[in-house]
Amino acid sequence: MTEGRTAQGETLLYLTDEQLRQGAEAMFFAYRGFTADPDRILDGLCYGRAHHRALHFIHTAPGTTVNNLLNILGVTKQSLNRVLRTMIEDGLVESRVGRVDKRERHLYLTEAGDALERQLSDAQRMRMRAAFRDAGPEAVAGFRRVLEAMMDPEMRRQYQRLREGRG
């Protein structure tokens, strides 16, 4: 590690309240940018971010249950049911009765749902790819460590399970 990197790393341990406030503001504006492209696509379809999040996690874990999706998204059952109902009616999501437990509903994207999810995610990946390319590999790894460190312990466990493919 070079001296500059060591000095820079050490200064990160002693951030002022002003630097932290600026970091929080940067996150708010980055989130607006990150969601802007999908928001435009969703707006034309009369959908919102809740629809996008549901599509994303159903795509990530095909066959996930409604209860699992509730846990991941941290929304009310009523709210999720409203979102799922519209996407099922519009042919984006398919709900299948569980084979073992008939009370469970397993969720899958249809071809149309998969196409919409890909369109939304491609827009975000393009933005992230450009930002990561500009920042460089060390910044990318550091960014992920910062995000993971900000997660509550249970959320971090959920995130790690998703990354390991155990939805």
* Separation CA 134–CA 131 (nearest Å): 5
Q: Which of 68, 77, 75 is nearest to 50 (CA)?
A: 75
Alpha carbon of residue 159 to chain centroid: 10
Does one domain contain both 99 and 151? no
For residues 107 and 52, state if they share a domain. Answer: yes
List, for residues 38-74, the tens digit of each pLDDT value. Answer: 999 999 999 999 999 999 999 999 999 999 999 999 9
Same domain flag for 117 and 140? no
- Strand, helix or coil at 97? strand
User: What CATH number is associated with residue 106?
Assistant: 1.10.10.10
The encoded tokens of residue 68 equal 């699992």
* CA–CA separation, 37 and 126 (whole Å): 10
User: Taking the complete model, does pTM exceed 0.85, yes or no?
Assistant: no
Give domain status of residue 45, yes or no. yes
Share of the chain above pLDDT 90, in %: 74
Q: Tell me which residue range forms the domain holding 164.
A: 136-167
Shared domain for 53 and 102, answered yes or no, is yes
The whole-number average pLDDT for the span 79-88 is 96
107 and 40 in a common domain: yes
Rg (CA), the chain: 19
Same domain? For 41 and 77 the reply is: yes
With respect to residue 80, please indicate whether it lies within any of the assigned structural domains: yes
Contact 108, 62 (CB under 8 A): yes
93-97 and 64-65 beta bridge pairing: unpaired
**Based on the domain organization, do 34 and 114 belong to the same domain?**
yes
How many CA atoms within 13 Å lie on the side-chain side of 56?
16
Q: Is residue 15 part of a domain?
A: no
